[in-house]
Structure 1
Amino acid sequence: MNPGDLSDVLLVLVAGLGAGLLISTIGVASLVSFPVLVAVGLPPVVANASNTVGLVPAGLSGSFGYREELRENPAATLRVLLVCMVGAAGGAWLLLLLPPGVFEVVVPWLILFTCLLVGVQPWLAGWLRRRQGPDAAPREEMGPVTTVFATLTGVYGGYFGAGSGVMMVAVLGLGTDLELRVVNGLKTLAILASNVVATAVFLVFADLDWTAIGLLAAGSVGGGYVGARVGRRLRPTVFRVLVVLGGVTAAVLLM
């Protein structure tokens, strides 16, 4: 991008702020920032990699904002961190090795499916609890199936990432009985883990636009923290509605 164009600079800065807010709330940050980077002239692959690097500060500040929620379940926090880092490493390599747009047809439908899961999660979770019986202990740790799907979400986060937060909410919401505010904190941490690992790969092997990265980082760091303060206070129903609306919007724009 052209750092001398004030309108482009302001646009990317504001996009960073909005993306930071979305990372810590409904998890569709790339819905805002990625299209803006393309609009200011970055090629899609450069925009994707630069977007990932530029949003790391938002994940850091958002995770700090959710620090109380993350401390409530250290085992789940550590598991999410590890599996998303492993998955994101594979996803970042896929981005560099595969032809651009290879998943363009699949991604919108994948996001729509996970939005459906988020929307019906209370009923599905209730059905699962009834099947387990009244004496079953709350599922506070990630089982093998949940871990596999969390890892796959990390792969997607490292590859592209648009809607990865929605996917993680669906995975954790169905695979555990954790409170939604804790799930929101874990989702934010998952996005951070994916972005950090992908950044390590992109710094060595990808073309990056450092002007765009700097502007996104400057805008997103405050947005991530403010979003966490908002996200932890959202009522579960309101949170789900916002997640589904954000995910559907992302899917439609990617079609």
Structure 2
Amino acid sequence: MQNVLDVVADLAATLPFEGWQVGLILLAGVWAGLINTIVGSGTLVTFPVLVTMGVPPVTASMSNAMGLIAGNLTGAWHYRHELKGVERTLLKLIPFSVVGGVIGAALLLHLPETVFGYAAPALIVVALLFVIFQPRLQALVRRRKDEQAEAAAAAARARGETPRPLDPDRAPQPVSLYALTFLAGVYGGYFVAAQGVLLLGILGVFLLASLQAANAVKVVLVALVNIVAAVSYVLFALDRINWWVVLLIAVSSTVGSWAGAKIGRRLSPVVLRTVIVVLGVVALVNLVARLV
């Protein structure tokens, strides 16, 4: 027993954070998992907290992406039933998303860290814009889905057939869907924040399926991009990963994802988006201050 306590004590001695910092990171991870389950963009909670705690931006991005995988997988499992009817379409999209994720991770690993220092503020602005305009984006998606369903029903009536629900696995998907899914993978592999919101916007408009099915596909693709990026980091940048951050974010984001699936839908989306925007602005100010 004493040996175990000694090992724990030695391990705790390597913790690069003070107690209050650990608590803040854990809180951010829980909140990120909760937000990812409901509206997405949880990285805009954890990333600014990590940078503020003194973690270098690239290390924060890598470690955070790896830590959030546990929450991503929890969300993917939660949405597994919504994937019925779009399995073949998902299999067609996976290579585009994965290859994009590999390219994005390669860019993060091989470009100078100063490039990320300049790119990160711009990408945070893009991410925040997606979060701020998410309600309008969702309204556009719903309208698009209604138009698709009505067009399919009208075509069926014109042929003298009874309108049936659209089968996305048999309907030809537009080429733009695959191209934009690839670009979203590149974005996610390089900079994790708000890739879910970006991808849902793409799938919601271009994927010939229901909004729930689009959201389920999004959850799986985001998880795969993060896994691909994490494998790349482990293989080629092991020394740049902060494993304490990975552990803290993994545990706390999993708890947050579970809570989001259970009780998170009772929380106001406006409040959640406000928290995302405030912390995103904190990260933006912090990164710009470093450049200045």
| Aligned-residue offset at 1:94 | 1.2
Over 3 Å counting, the alpha-carbon distance change for 1:51 and 1:112 in structure 2 is same
The 5-angstrom pairing of residues 165-180 of structure 1 reads 165-180=196-211
* Residue 153 (structure 1) aligned with residue 205 (structure 2): no
Aligned counterpart for 2:245 among listed residues 212, 223, 226:
212
Over 3 Å counting, the alpha-carbon distance change for 1:215 and 1:87 in structure 2 is same
Partner residue, 1:101: 117
SS of match in other structure, 1:134: helix
* Residue 30 (structure 1) aligned with residue 61 (structure 2): no
Deviations 1:58-81 (A, max 9, x none): 111111111111234211332343
Aligned counterpart for 2:104 among listed residues 91, 102, 123:
91
Over 3 Å counting, the alpha-carbon distance change for 1:252 and 1:139 in structure 2 is farther
* Residue 63 (structure 1) aligned with residue 81 (structure 2): no
SS of match in other structure, 2:84: helix
* Residue 194 (structure 1) aligned with residue 225 (structure 2): yes
Partner residue, 1:73: 86
Over 3 Å counting, the alpha-carbon distance change for 1:193 and 1:249 in structure 2 is farther
Over 3 Å counting, the alpha-carbon distance change for 1:108 and 1:32 in structure 2 is same
**Contact preservation (8 Å) 2:69, 2:223:** yes
Partner residue, 2:138: 118
Over 3 Å counting, the alpha-carbon distance change for 1:173 and 1:133 in structure 2 is same
Distance of 2:271 and 2:215 partners within structure 1? 12
SS of match in other structure, 1:100: helix
**Contact preservation (8 Å) 1:84, 1:194:** yes
**Contact preservation (8 Å) 1:65, 1:229:** no
Tell me the C-alpha RMSD between the 2 structures.
Answer: 3.1
Over 3 Å counting, the alpha-carbon distance change for 1:6 and 1:62 in structure 2 is same
* Bigger-Rg structure (1/2): 2
Structure 2's unaligned 5+ residue stretches are 1-13, 157-164, 285-292
The TM-score normalised by the length of structure 2 is 0.73
| Aligned-residue offset at 1:13 | 1.6
* Residue 13 (structure 1) aligned with residue 26 (structure 2): yes
Deviations 1:196-223 (A, max 9, x none): 0000111122301111110111111232
Deviations 1:72-119 (A, max 9, x none): 421133234332211110111111223223433355246526745434
**Contact preservation (8 Å) 1:21, 1:223:** yes
Distance of 2:88 and 2:262 partners within structure 1? 23
* Residue 42 (structure 1) aligned with residue 55 (structure 2): yes
Distance of 2:198 and 2:70 partners within structure 1? 21
Over 3 Å counting, the alpha-carbon distance change for 1:125 and 1:105 in structure 2 is same
**Contact preservation (8 Å) 2:48, 2:280:** no
Over 3 Å counting, the alpha-carbon distance change for 1:53 and 1:229 in structure 2 is same
Over 3 Å counting, the alpha-carbon distance change for 1:110 and 1:30 in structure 2 is closer
**Contact preservation (8 Å) 2:44, 2:280:** no
Deviating more after overlay: 91-100 vs 156-165: 91-100
Over 3 Å counting, the alpha-carbon distance change for 1:250 and 1:157 in structure 2 is farther
